[in-house]
Amino acid sequence: MPIPILLGTFVALLFFTGLTVFLADQHLGEIDIWIALAIATIKAGLVATYFMHLRYDKPINVLFFLFCLGFVALFFSITLLDSEQYQPQIKEFYENTTVVTATETSSFSSVTMRRDEYQAKFGFALFIASLTMFFLASIAAYGIIRFASDAPAISIGSFPPSLIVSTLSMFGVGFAMHMAVANVRRERQVPFRRWLYAATGIAVIFLVFQSLGLHALLEMHRDALNDG
């Protein structure tokens, strides 16, 4: 690949990164989400097209990657737009609970609010860890398929049951978060915390079983290669 193309791609990535930092201080309303998604999609496309050499690869690989990229963008857009829809209720909820009064009728104490804030940060960290695991697994699968395309087809046998558990856990997290948001809209604070705890617990289960499943798949693939 020509060096000027790599340098041009690098400069373009720096430009879009600077644009992201600049727009972070701007408030453009609901269009913020679409601008952020567009910039992220363009940057991912540049990295895959030139740094991953898909520009010079088989067209079918480019098509597969674009389809996956579009799916990820659609997933994030739906999630962000759904969160944006509930922003008025969430903002009202936190405005009513962050001010701690000295009366006995106060439903939240400062300790409770700190615990809820820690719970939200911990859940977000689990979400990022899960996305990172998916990304690394996708890169590993792409590398295996790309560099072993001339090898004879092999069978890895049975499907790891832990992946089935992790898949069910994903649906469980989605349902728990839906119930938590529903209780926020109804201003039911105790059920909201319970469903948030449930979502965190299920997310931990997903992270553990997904890790075990990916490890089992790699071990089965290695054994199949050694036996083949």
What is the C-alpha to C-alpha distance for residues 167 and 162, in angstroms, rounded to an integer? 9
* Dihedral over Cα of 144, 145, 150, 156: its sign: positive
38 in a domain, yes or no? yes
Please tell me whether residues 115 and 228 are part of one structural domain: yes
Please tell me whether residues 218 and 166 are part of one structural domain: yes
For residues 205 and 87, the model is more confident at 205
For residues 215 and 130, the model is more confident at 215
What is the C-alpha to C-alpha distance for residues 228 and 150, in angstroms, rounded to an integer? 14
104 in a domain, yes or no? no
Residue where the block lists tokens 């659609």: 74
Please tell me whether residues 187 and 145 are part of one structural domain: yes
Nearest to 93 by CA among 176, 178, 188: 188
Least confident of 20-29, 31-40, 121-130, 149-158: 149-158
Judge whether residue 112 has pLDDT over 60: no
Please tell me whether residues 72 and 16 are part of one structural domain: yes
Please tell me whether residues 132 and 63 are part of one structural domain: no
Average pLDDT over residues 88-116: 54
106 in a domain, yes or no? no
Give the whole-number percent of the chain exceeding pLDDT 70: 47
Give the pLDDT band (50/70/90) at residue 3. confident
What is the C-alpha to C-alpha distance for residues 84 and 179, in angstroms, rounded to an integer? 17
* Dihedral over Cα of 174, 177, 183, 189: its sign: positive
Please tell me whether residues 148 and 187 are part of one structural domain: yes
Average pLDDT, the chain: 70
Q: Which two tokens stand for residue 68?
A: 């996956």
Please tell me whether residues 118 and 81 are part of one structural domain: no
Please tell me whether residues 118 and 216 are part of one structural domain: yes
Please tell me whether residues 80 and 163 are part of one structural domain: no
**What is the tally of structural domains in the chain?**
2
99 in a domain, yes or no? no
Least confident of 9-18, 20-29, 155-164: 155-164
Q: Is the pTM of this model over 0.75?
A: no
Write out the residue range of the structural domain in which residue 78 sits. Answer: 1-85
Give the pLDDT band (50/70/90) at residue 56. low
Q: How confident is the model over 177-214, as pLDDT tens digits?
A: 778 777 776 777 788 888 888 888 888 888 788 778 77
94 in a domain, yes or no? no
